[in-house]
Amino acid sequence: MNSARAWRAAWAFAGSRQLSVFVLVMGITYALILAVFRIGFGVDERWLSVLADLLPYKLFYALFLVNLTVLGIGWVPALFRLCRLPDLAQRVDHPGRFEGAAQVPGAGVRIEALERHLMRRGYRCSAPAGDGMPQEYLLCASKGRSSSLGNLLFHGGFLLLLAGAVTNALYRFEGTAVIAEGGAFSGARKEYRTIAGAPDAALPQVDFDVERVSAEFWMGRLLFTHLQAQLLHRGGRDVATVSAPAQVGNATVTIAGYGYAPTFQFKGKDGVIADMATVKLNIISPGNEDYFYVPGYPHKIFVSFYPDHAEVDGRVASKSMNPVNPAYFVRILRGRIPVYAGLLKPGEWAAFDGLAISFPSFTRSGEFRIARNPGHPMIWMAFAVMGLGLAWRLFFHRKEVALWRDAAGCTWVCGRADYFPKLHAAWLASLADRFQGVAT
C-alpha cells in the first residue's frame, strides 16, 4: 500500500509544475554559466563541451525529458476531451451568465442572415430543432474546436528539441584545420589539427578547396574588422566567415583564425635545391615563433614573421599587420646547439653547416572549424512545430456565438473565446447592431 502511494506521489511530482519551474531555472542557469565562461572569461569552446558533458547537465536533460513525458501523458486525454466539448447551448443552462452579452435593438434579429454570415467565417452552426438545445436559444455557432491540439504540437516540439540536443551531445563532431590559400581539404583524420566533440562521433563528409583568404585589420593591429574565406566544393562556391558558416557536405565550415604559411627553399651541401614546400605555422602575431623540420635533416628551424618589419630601439618589430614589408626572423638549432640566428627578407639565404635556407614567398592561411551537428535538423523541426502549434492555438482558437431570447422577449447575442475576450465581445456587439431586424 505504501509502495503504491509512493509511486503515485513520484508520478505526480514528475508531472508537476514545481518540477517544470525547477527544470526551467536549471536550463537558464546552465545557459548563463556557459555564456559567462565563453564571453566573460574567453574559455575555448572545447572546454565548454567538456563542461556540458558533466553529470549535472546530463541529469538536467533527463529531468527535462521525464517532466515533458509525464506532462504529455496527463495532458493528451484532457486535450482530446476539450476537442469533443459540446456546443455552448448544450453545456450552459443560462446564457445570461456570459459577460459582454449584447442586446439586439428592435424587435429581433435576422437569424438566417446571421447564420449565413457565421458560416462564411468558418463557424459550424446549429439550430434548436433536433439539436438538443434549450428552447431559449435561437442559434448556436462555434469554430476552432480542435485548436487545443495546438498545445500538443507546441509541447511536442519541446520533445523534438530535447531529442536534437541529446543527439548533438552523443554524436556531435568538431575539428579544426589550418589550410593555406590554394590548399585542399579532404576530411581525413590526419588533416585535422584538433578534434573534439563526442567520442563516438563519425568524421563528417566534407571536401573543399580554399581559393582565397582575406582579412582586414583595425588600424593595422591584430584586431579583425573583416575575415573570410572563399571555398570551392562539390556544391559550388561559398564564403565562410567567423559568424556565417558555409554548408559543405554534411558539415558546416567557419573560419576562426588567420595566418601566414611561408614557402621555403632548402639547399644541400652541393648547392642544389633539395627541398621546397609550404609549411603551416602559427606565426600570425609578430614575434610569435613556431618551428618545423626539413625531412632528412636534424635541424630545428624556428620562424617568426613580421608583416611590416622595422627596427625600433635595436629590436625587430612590425609597424602594422599588413604584409607590405615582410621579413622573417630565423633561428636554427642542431640538437641544442644554435647554428644560425638572423633576419631574412624574402629571397635572402641563411647559410649554416654547409646548408642554406630561404623563404621566397608566403601564402595566407586560415584556421577553419569544421562541425557536424546531426541533431540540428530535429532542433529546426522542433521550432517549426512549436511555431505551428502556437499559431494554431492563438489565431485559430475556439470561439462561440449564441443567440437567445430571455423571458421578457428580448434577443441577445453572447459567446466566449479562449483568447482576446474583449475583442470577441466587441465583435458580438457589432453583430447585434448589424443583423437587427424582424426575427426570421
The total number of structural domains that make up the chain = 4
Asked if residue 184 and residue 52 are part of one domain, the reply reads: no
pLDDT greater than 90 at residue 202: no
Of the three residues 82, 99, 122, the one that is the final residue of a domain is 82
User: Does some domain include residue 163?
Assistant: no
Supply the pLDDT for residue 291.
92
Q: Which residue has the higher pLDDT, 382 or 80?
A: 382
CA angle (163, 164, 167) in 5-degree steps: 85
User: Does some domain include residue 153?
Assistant: no
User: Does some domain include residue 359?
Assistant: yes
- Between CA 34 and CA 26 the distance in angstroms is 12
**What percent of the chain is predicted at pLDDT more than 90?**
26
CATH of the domain at 107: 3.30.160
Which residues span the domain enclosing 321?
262-364
pLDDT greater than 80 at residue 22: yes
pLDDT in tens, 121-174: 999 887 654 455 555 778 888 898 888 888 888 888 888 888 888 888 788 888
Asked if residue 65 and residue 50 are part of one domain, the reply reads: yes
Asked if residue 100 and residue 176 are part of one domain, the reply reads: no
Supply the pLDDT for residue 380.
92
Find the range with the poorest average confidence among 91-105, 202-216, 358-372: 91-105
What phi and psi values does residue 171 have, to the nearest 5 degrees? -130, 10
Q: Which residue has the higher pLDDT, 85 or 228?
A: 228
Supply the pLDDT for residue 257.
83
pLDDT in tens, 368-414: 999 998 988 999 999 999 999 999 988 888 888 888 877 777 888 88
User: Does some domain include residue 312?
Assistant: yes
User: Does some domain include residue 136?
Assistant: yes
Supply the pLDDT for residue 40.
64
Q: pTM of whole model > 0.75?
A: no
Of 53, 55, 59, nearest to 34 by C-alpha is 53
User: Does some domain include residue 51?
Assistant: yes
User: Does some domain include residue 151?
Assistant: no
Mean pLDDT confidence for 180-198: 87
Of the three residues 82, 99, 124, the one that is the final residue of a domain is 82
Supply the pLDDT for residue 87.
64
Asked if residue 423 and residue 335 are part of one domain, the reply reads: no
Asked if residue 245 and residue 174 are part of one domain, the reply reads: yes
Of 397, 418, 405, nearest to 95 by C-alpha is 405
Of 182, 193, 286, nearest to 231 by C-alpha is 182
Residues 6+ apart with CB under 8 A from 364: 180, 181, 212, 213, 214, 215, 258, 259, 260, 261
Asked if residue 277 and residue 314 are part of one domain, the reply reads: yes
Confidence of residue 234 (pLDDT cuts 50, 70, 90): confident
Asked if residue 358 and residue 286 are part of one domain, the reply reads: yes
Asked if residue 360 and residue 283 are part of one domain, the reply reads: yes
Asked if residue 419 and residue 292 are part of one domain, the reply reads: no
pLDDT in tens, 267-311: 999 999 999 999 988 888 888 889 999 999 999 999 999 988 888
Supply the pLDDT for residue 436.
78
373: three-class secondary structure by DSSP: coil
Of 324, 349, 326, nearest to 316 by C-alpha is 326
Asked if residue 176 and residue 140 are part of one domain, the reply reads: no
Asked if residue 251 and residue 266 are part of one domain, the reply reads: no
User: Does some domain include residue 156?
Assistant: no
Asked if residue 373 and residue 234 are part of one domain, the reply reads: yes
